[in-house]
Amino acid sequence: MGKVYITGAGPGDPELLTVKAFKIIQNADVILYDRLINEEILNYRKKEAILIYVGKEDGKHTIPQQEINQFLYDYALQYDVVVRLKGGDPFVFGRGGEECLFLAERGIEFEVIPGVTSAISVPAYTGIPVTHRGIASSFRVVTGHEAPDKENSSIDWESMKANETIVFLMGLHNIEKIMDKLIQIGKNPKTPVAVIHAGTTENQLVIVGEIDNISKLAKDVPTPALIVIGDVVKLRDKINWFDAKLLKC
Ligand code: SAH
């Protein structure tokens, strides 16, 4: 019986792959990968490795999660090294925990290889530190997949009044509703917001605005994109290093 490696592939820049993930990709017999993986990373595999695309878009699986779980189980019975490769970190909205539970319940050995999450690294590549002394002492990462008007939401909207950095993943489709909700709970409508597409890659695109105008400014931004809200966004004016680097290339 083989082992399954629930592995983070990082946010896009292939060099943000961990050494551990790099080594396991080189050894993999089977790789099941998601849409947000930079395909360059797959080139590290052995020639004979089996590649299986189980892409999902903004949290919506084209292949149901239950089927992916079953694939992992079935391949683990047949091959030694099964790699489940996910964008960013497997436990940050990656359903990695569900896959671990499924395997654990069936006695399949597994290991988790954390990855560089987009929630922190994508803002970093646009010159936005998620915490900064005197500006933000905490940050939270929230799913934007759930509409803010959903009843019995498990998201604590009221507490977002606090002066901290908020990062929404999977929130582009709901951006207008999210911004309306933040105004409704009493957040300052002039709080800076950045919407970042394809962060850490050469296609990175950043739109900056405020809570009360960002949904209009960012209406044509494609996915994948994340939303960063908070005064730390202003630091970008001075810290933005990646765009400068791209211009030099
Ligand atoms: N496990 C992943 C997140 C999965 S949810 C992680 O840790 O990064 C998928 C969401 O992540 C996307 O909808 C988008 O909001 C965000 N995302 C992932 N990669 C991104 C990138 N390179 N640029 C901008 N947003 C990204």
Domain CATH number, residue 236: 3.30.950.10
Total of domains in the chain = 2
What pLDDT score does 28 carry?
Answer: 98
Q: Are residues 12 and 82 in the same domain?
A: yes
Catalytic residue status for 56 = yes
Angle CA 21–80–65, to nearest 5: 70
123 and 243 together in one domain: yes
CATH number at residue 73: 3.40.1010.10
Q: CA angle at residue 143 from 220 to 126, to 5 degrees?
A: 55
Ligand 1 atom index nearest CA of 204? 23
| β-bridge partners, 6 | 84, 112
Q: Are residues 73 and 170 in the same domain?
A: no
Domain shared by 231 and 137, yes or no = yes
Question: Looking at residue 63, what is its pLDDT?
Answer: 87
Which ligand 1 atom lies nearest to the CA of residue 96? 1
Same-domain pairing of 133 and 238: yes
- Tell me which of 60, 91, 116 is where a domain ends: 116
Q: Are residues 100 and 170 in the same domain?
A: no
For the chain, the first-to-last Cα distance in angstroms comes to 47
The verdict on 27 and 135 lying in the same domain is no
Show which of 67, 99, 116 is a domain's final residue.
116
Check 89, 160, 170, 181 and give the catalytic one: 170
Residues 57 and 110 both lie in one domain: yes
pLDDT at 39: 87
pTM, two decimals, is 0.95
If asked whether residues 66 and 146 sit together in one domain, one would say no
Q: ∠161-162-164 over CA atoms, to 5°?
A: 120
Q: CB 228: neighbour CB atoms within 10 A?
A: 26
β-strand partners of 52? 32
pLDDT score for 59: 54
How far does the centroid of ligand 1 lie from the alpha carbon of residue 77, in Å?
31
pLDDT per residue as tens, the chain (249 positions):
999 999 999 999 999 999 999 999 999 999 999 988 888 999 999 999 999 999 866 555 578 999 999 999 999 999 999 999 999 999 999 999 999 999 999 999 999 999 999 999 999 999 999 999 999 999 999 999 988 888 888 899 999 999 999 999 999 999 999 999 999 999 999 999 999 999 999 999 999 999 999 999 999 999 999 999 999 999 999 999 998 888 887
Residues 126 and 92 in one domain: no
Q: What are phi and psi of 68, to 5 degrees?
A: -65, -45
Q: Which pLDDT value is given to residue 152?
A: 82
pLDDT score of 58: 54
Task: Answer whether 127 contacts ligand 1 (Cβ < 6 A).
Answer: no
Say if residue 131 is in the same domain as residue 220. Answer: yes
Q: Residues 27, 86: one domain?
A: yes
Please report the pLDDT score of residue 153 as a whole number. Answer: 86
| Domain closes at, from 64, 88, 116 | 116
Domain span including residue 31 = 3-116
Q: Is 220 designated active site? A: no
Q: Tokens standing for 222?
A: 């494609």
